[in-house]
Structure formats: C-alpha cells, structure tokens
Structure 1
Amino acid sequence: MSKIVDGLINLPPWLVLLVAFALPAAEASIFVGVVFPGEIAIIVAGVLAHAHKLPLWLVIVVGTLGAVIGDSIGYEVGARYGDWVLARLPKRLVKPEHVEQGRALLRRRGGWAVLIGRFTAALRALVPGLAGTSRLPYRTFLPYNLVGGLAWVTMSALIGYIAGASYKAAEHQVSLISGGLLALIVLVVLHQIARKSQRVQSWLARHRYKLPDRWLTASVLMLTAGGWLLAGLVQDAQGPTGAASSDSRLLHDVIGYQRAWLTPVARGITTLGAWPVAYGVVVVLGGLVAWRARNRVLPLCSVALLGAGQGVRLAISHAVARPRPPRGLWLTGADGYSFPSGHTTLATIAYGLAGLLLLRLLPASRLATVLVSLVAAVLAAAVGVSRVYLGVHWPSDVAGGWSLGVGWLALATTVYTLVRLVRLRRSANRLVPAEAAPEPQVVSPAP
C-alpha cells in the first residue's frame, strides 16, 4: 500500500485528480473498494492541494462526483443483477429469510445505512449494491448518497491538506476513523439484535439485567466521542502538539481565501454565534413552546443549559489560557483567550437546543427531524469556519468548540434519559394491581 501511495504522490497533478475521480467511482461500481480504499486517492490529492498544485475545492468537487456516480452505478448493478447473484449463492451461506430481513431493514432505515456505510471501508463497496438489491427507492438513496459522498470526500481531502507532506500519517488517521465508525456500527447492530432476541431477553430477565434505552445508548456514545476529542485537543493546545501543530499553516491557508465580497458574509455569519443572538433564538423559541405547548420546563432548562455550557467553556478557556492568533490577522473584534472558540461552542449548544424547541412546535415527522438537525449542524459549522476565516481563532479552537458543544448536548440528553427511566421504573414499582372487589350481594326484601 505504501508503494502505491508513493507512486500516486509523484504523478502529475492532473493525473492525480483523474485518479481521485476514478478510484472512488470504482469502489462500489466494480467493487474495487474491497481491495483498495478510495480515500487514499483523495488524501493524495489533498496533499497536492496543500502544495498549491491543485485547488482544494476542485479536489472536493471531482472526488464527490466520482463517489456519487460510482455508488449510483453500484445501486443499478444491485437492482438489475442482485437477485441473479443471490440465487446462485449457496443457501447455507445466504439464507433467503436473512436476505428478506436485510431488505426490510434497508427499506425502513436504508438512507442512514447508505450514509454511515460511506465512512467505513468494509461497507462502502457493498452498501450501494445491497440497497439496489433491496429495492430501496432511488429517490431515497440519492440524497443520502450525495450528503455522504460530499462529507467523506471533504473529510479525506482536508486530512491530506492539513497533513501536508506527512501523507502516511494522514492515511493512518483515516484508517482509525473508519475503524472507529465500523466498531460503532457493529455495537449498534449487536444492540438491535439483542433487543429483538428472545433468548437474550430471557437471559437478561433471569439475571435482572436490562438493555439500555436507545436514546441513552446514542447519547452516551456521543458524550464519549465528544469528551475524548475535547481532551485530546486540550492537550494539543497546551503543547502545541498533534492537531494544534498544523494550526498556523491551516490558518494562513484559510486566510488566503479571503475576498472583499466574502468578508462581510463571514462577519454576518459569525454574529450568529454571539451571545445576544444565540440566547435570543433560544429564549424566543422557548417562549413559543411555553405559550403553545404549555411546557415551561423545557424552555427554562434550555436557557439554563446554555448558560452552564458557557460557564464550562470559560473555565476551560482560563485553564488552558491559549493566546489568539496575531492581531494583525483579525478582521473582526475579539477578546478573551482563544481555546475553545466561544462563538463556536455557543452556536453548537444554542442551535442544538433551538432545534429541539422547534421540533416541539412542528408536527412530528422524520423529515422535520432530519431537516431541523441538518440546519442546526450547518449553522454551527458555518460559525466555526467564519472564526478561522476572520483570523481570530486557530482551527483547533473551533474543533474544540464543536467537541465541547456536542459533548454538552449529549451530557444533557444522557442525564434527561436516565432521570426519565428512573421515574418510569419507580412508577412501575408503585403500580400495584388492585384486588377485585367482591360483588355486592343484593338482598331481596321479605315478602
């Protein structure tokens, strides 16, 4: 693998760009991804973008097109020839009932399977064909394919871009990310199997165990991931080592994209993370929830969580005491220490809570949940990027703000879920079936 990468890095830039299109396209269409992961070509193209041999935006566009087109071809192959292939496989290896269960699962939650599968080398080449074989509608497949392809290519290109000449370290980093996501998927699948297995449920009942709630499991995983990343960034920011060692180079690369028309846009976006705007959005939506839904607890808890999260951010900031970038790079005002980014932390927590409040006002539907979550994530991401663009934060400051914000929301969700489960269990224990009262005997009057 290392020799192949060394060969790619020495190719002409236009040829590397062509490979960055062709290799992701071939992953699922002709199953090349089973042998050779496509992110290698994207990383190498990102390294060349760092050396100013290729535009970074062009790498992302070309790689995304290759990934989306290749997965679409894999989907069509599965839709047309998947049954033919499955019919010729030994029944002892692929049981028909298992195939039908897999198709039913993809029909129910296929879009998320396509999105998550994009980030795992073990599934990336197989999920599109399986989605076609399972008759997942293409109108459902395509949006998740687009979002997953764009996110995966952007992540891989940025890792190569940040790593610069150390492309082998970048390759190892992507492998760790893919392995972590694959481990997460395996844990989720095992959890779902355990919930549906009568044997497992019987064994747990005999030993007085109970599987954790689905929301509790997800929130604990997010809390662990956010806390782990934040702890690593805190350590790097005090060095600076690790991720923080690339801050100066990446900051100047981002500043190189400054344009006269883009700077006012960035200043407008960054105000979305200022405390008057963030608190204002939460307070207004909280007031609407209190008025329309007659729920005052959620709005009050949301404002309290936002304030407490900001307090934790200030404590970390004073403990690390990291100075900001040189003042000559600033395009907007700023005060206080640099790590973690206050605007980014506040935007992540505030718009996460605002999304929760907004969902209480909208009709319950999966589409509304997805759209509101996507808007909240885009706003938090845009505020973080604007802070680097305006020169007032190092990139790892923004990453720390995202980590703290996500971890804080996950902590609140975990505590809420635990309290709710404890209350439900206490209510169930207090609920004693009333004994049937004896029927009153009717005595006929004496004649």
Structure 2
Amino acid sequence: MGPWLDSITAWLSANPSWLGAAVFLVSFVECLAIAGIIVPGTVLLFAIAALAGSGILPLGEALLLGFLGGLLGDFVSYFLGRRFHQNIRRLPGLRQHPEWIAGAETYFQRYGIASLLVGRFIGPLRPMLPMVAGMFDMPLVRFAAVSVVAAAGWSVAYILPGWATGAAIRLPLPEGFWPEAAVVGAGLAVLLGVAIQSSVRAKPYATWLIALTCLILLIGVFLGWPYLAHLDQGVMTLVQEHRSEAAENFVVLVTGLGDFKTQFCAAALLLIVLVITRQWRHAVFACSTTLGSAIINQCMKHTFARARPEVLAEPLSSYSMPSGHASASFALFMTLAVLAGRGQPVRLRLTWLVLGVIPAASICVSRVYLGVHWPTDVLAGMLLAFFACATSLAFVENKQPLPALPLRVWWLLLPVIFAVLVGFAAHSLTHGLIRYEY
C-alpha cells in the first residue's frame, strides 16, 4: 500500500483544493457497505487528515466533511438494505464472503440500536451494520438519529488524531516537545496495553492491575509536570493557533457539559435512578467513582497549588491541576460505559469504554482551547477518573461480577442524563454562566 498511499498524498499536496473532497470521499467509502471492508480507508484517512492539518484545511472543516461523508455512507448502505433485503447476499463480494454480513447480522440482532453505536468503531462491522439495519427494516427516523450521533463521534475519533499530527509537525514547537510527548504517549500506551491484555485474557486481577497502572501514571504526572513544560507549551500553542470566533460558541457549549453544576446534577440523577430501580451495587459503583473523583480532585488541587495558564485576559486565580472538568466528565462517562458493558463480551466492553472517552476527551480539549487548563492538567484529571473508576469496580466486583443493567433502567436513565447535560450546557451558554474555574 506504501507507493499507492504516497502517490495519493503527493497528488493532494500538489492539488490542495481537492483535499476537502478527498476527506469527504474517503470517509464515505470507509462507511459504505462492502467497499469499507475492501478499501484500507483508516490508514488513508489518517494520512489525508495529517495533510489537512499541515495548514491546508481547518480542523472544523475536516471534521464536518468527515462527518458528512460517513453519514452519507451510512444512509446509502441503509437504503441498499431496505431496497434489496435478503437479495443483498447476491451482490459481488458478499457471494464470495458471506461471513461479512453474517457477523453483522448476529451483532445487530443481539444488540439492536447499541450495535450501530458501538459497531461504528469496530472495523469489519462499521460498513455492514447500516445495511443490515435496512435489511431488518429499522425505522428510518430511529436509524438516522443513531447514525448522526455515531458519525459525529467517529469523525472526531478518526480524523482528529491525523489532523493534530499534521499540525504538530508544521508548527515550530519547543525543542523538547517530541521527547516529552513520546514519554506521555508511552505511558498511555502501557495503560492501554495492560487494560486490553488483562481483560482479553480474563485475568481475575485485571481491574486491580488497571487501577494500579493508573495510579502509577497519575503519580508520575504530578511529580513530573514541571519537566513536561515543553509539552504543555507546544500543545497550548497548537490549540490556541486555531481559535476562531466561529468555533467559540461550540467550544463553550462543550465545556459547559463538564461544568460543576451540570456534572453534579447528572451524577445525582444517575444515582437516583439506580436507587429507585434498586440497582444497589451499580449505585455503589457509580457513587464511589463520581464522588471519589471529586474529593480526590479537590485535595490534589490544594496540595500541588499549580497556577493556571495566562491565556485569558483576566487569568483565573484558582488552582489548575488536576482539571475538575476532566476528572468529573471522565468519571461520569466511564461509569456509564462500564455499566453499559456489563454482561457483554470483552471486545464490546472495550468499545463502550472508547465511546465513553470521546465526549469526555472533547470536554478536555475545550479546556485547553479556552486556555484555562494546561494539557497535563486534563491528563491528570483523566488518569484520576480512570483510577477511581477501576478501584470502585474492583471493590464492587470483589466477590461476584456486576450484572448487566436491565433494559428498562437504560430507557429511563439515558434520556434523563442527556436532557440534563444538554439543558444545563445550553442554559449556561445562553446566559453566560460557564464557570471556567472548575
């Protein structure tokens, strides 16, 4: 694939006006039934996104084009399924590889709507599930609603890393940026490897091992943040360079999702629903994760007393590390992701965790974008929430695994939390009540 990829990127470098069309087209093909399995779109999309980040295409445009391309791929696949139903198996490619559609059918029949959200991040399933949803006559309105949410998360997860890589290579970053970034990246890679390997191998001590790894990395960040100054300055420069008035309101809305009042009400409603439905062990896990993260966060803020960045016209006087928005949002979304994955295969549990990371990470990026936290602040907040979540889960599952939540609880829980998050964030944006200091 090397020469072919090089020729495409070379042509796009010489013809940058076509780069936006390339992001849209590759995203479309990556999410299109059958074609998404055959074409190595993930690698190609990363390369094109990196090229876009080199100064050719703004991040907002790249994310929007990726979102629209992926969404179009979903809808074309869906209508193919609705049009041909079971005759779809006669199409070229599926006749020779019936397992492509068989796996997606099994997955869809088992998990329903959730399969469209989670399967979006599982390569072989991503292009096939919308077509299977059409084959089984899923209502268009329901499919469209789920597909919009899934495509938005997919666009961020698949385009942002490549775009950020291209932008980082282009900018004159501090000399020590890349070595420090490599150290942080290696630490996160170790955490990811420990989580995946211990979970896949079903080790009885897997959750404790993950908690211990998070604790070691968290201590490392707290002791080592003075030595990560080049990383902080470099990432801050990268993010601040792309500030724009057009994106300001959206970023403020995102950061409002992590505001203290918003997160407190969402966590409180989560606990109330779990208690009302008598899910006692789930309630203990959720309470210990969210409350534990908040208590530890405030203790650490005053222990290390780190000053905030001087980006705002009037810099905030409160302490910076760890970010309260980061720890609260990761604690809430990781709690929901863990509860969603109970009673499901390891692969699906890990995918739910990835889905939980996306909104929490978006809130973290908004904090750096607004200049109220250093990158290592949000990194510490994330690791703190991971540690609290893993420790709480290990205690709750000490004697027996946590069972899956009944579906009736989810139908009550999700609309309530979604309404609270969006309602408070929108109200804060409208009335200018965003509290940057959390």
- Decide: shared fold, TM above 0.5: yes
Structure 2 counterpart of 1:257, from 222, 235, 243: 243
Distance 1:271-1:111 versus aligned 2 partners, 3 A rule: closer
Partner of 2:163: 161
Q: Separation in 2 of the partners of 1:257 and 1:56?
A: 10
1:72-91 aligned at under 5 Å gives the runs 72-81=75-84, 83-86=86-89
Q: Separation in 2 of the partners of 1:162 and 1:399?
A: 17
Deviations 1:149-205 (A, max 9, x none): 2212212221112212788x9xxx9xx99xx89x97xx89xx9xxxxxxxxxxxxxx
Q: CA deviation at 1:48?
A: 3.6
* Matched-pair contact (CA < 8 Å) for 1:43–1:159: yes
Q: Percent identity at matched positions?
A: 22
- The answer to whether the aligner puts 1:346 opposite 2:328 as a matched pair is yes
Q: Separation in 1 of the partners of 2:249 and 2:360?
A: 18
Deviations 1:61-86 (A, max 9, x none): 11111111112212233343452353
Q: Separation in 1 of the partners of 2:89 and 2:216?
A: 47
Name the amino acid aligned to 2:159.
Answer: A
Q: Structure 1-normalised TM-score?
A: 0.59
Q: Separation in 1 of the partners of 2:283 and 2:94?
A: 57
Q: CA deviation at 1:34?
A: 2.4
Distance 1:109-1:345 versus aligned 2 partners, 3 A rule: same
Structure 2 counterpart of 1:23, from 20, 23, 26: 26
RMSD: 5.6
Name the amino acid aligned to 2:47.
Answer: V
Structure 2 counterpart of 1:248, from 233, 245, 260: 233
Partner of 1:309: 293
Partner of 1:369: none
**Higher RCO (Cα < 8 Å, 6 or more apart):** 2
SS in 1 for 2:316: coil
SS in 1 for 2:124: helix
* Matched-pair contact (CA < 8 Å) for 1:267–1:332: no
Distance 1:286-1:129 versus aligned 2 partners, 3 A rule: closer
Q: Structure 2-normalised TM-score?
A: 0.60
Structure 1 counterpart of 2:310, from 327, 343, 346: 327
Q: CA deviation at 1:100?
A: 8.5
1:369-408 aligned at under 5 Å gives the runs 380=360, 383-408=363-388
* Matched-pair contact (CA < 8 Å) for 1:46–1:160: yes
* Matched-pair contact (CA < 8 Å) for 2:236–2:375: yes
Partner of 1:437: none
Q: Separation in 2 of the partners of 1:2 and 1:381?
A: 32
Residue ranges of structure 2 left out of the alignment (5+ in a row): 170-177, 179-184, 339-352, 403-438
Aligned residues: 365
Name the amino acid aligned to 1:43.
Answer: F
Distance 1:401-1:107 versus aligned 2 partners, 3 A rule: same
* Matched-pair contact (CA < 8 Å) for 2:55–2:167: no
Partner of 2:56: 53
* Matched-pair contact (CA < 8 Å) for 2:33–2:131: no
Q: CA deviation at 1:349?
A: 3.1
* Matched-pair contact (CA < 8 Å) for 1:107–1:136: no
Deviations 1:84-135 (A, max 9, x none): 353699999969xx98997465245232222233223333333333333344
Distance 1:116-1:396 versus aligned 2 partners, 3 A rule: farther
1:354-365 aligned at under 5 Å gives the runs none
More displaced 10-residue stretch of structure 1: 385-394 or 54-63: 385-394
Q: CA deviation at 1:57?
A: 0.7
Structure 2 counterpart of 1:411, from 391, 397, 400: 391
Residue ranges of structure 1 left out of the alignment (5+ in a row): 192-210, 357-372, 423-447
Structure whose CA Rg is larger? 1
Q: Separation in 1 of the partners of 2:108 and 2:224?
A: 46
Distance 1:101-1:378 versus aligned 2 partners, 3 A rule: closer
Q: Separation in 1 of the partners of 2:95 and 2:277?
A: 54
Q: CA deviation at 1:252?
A: 2.5
- The answer to whether the aligner puts 1:13 opposite 2:13 as a matched pair is no
Q: CA deviation at 1:55?
A: 1.3
Name the amino acid aligned to 1:342.
Answer: G
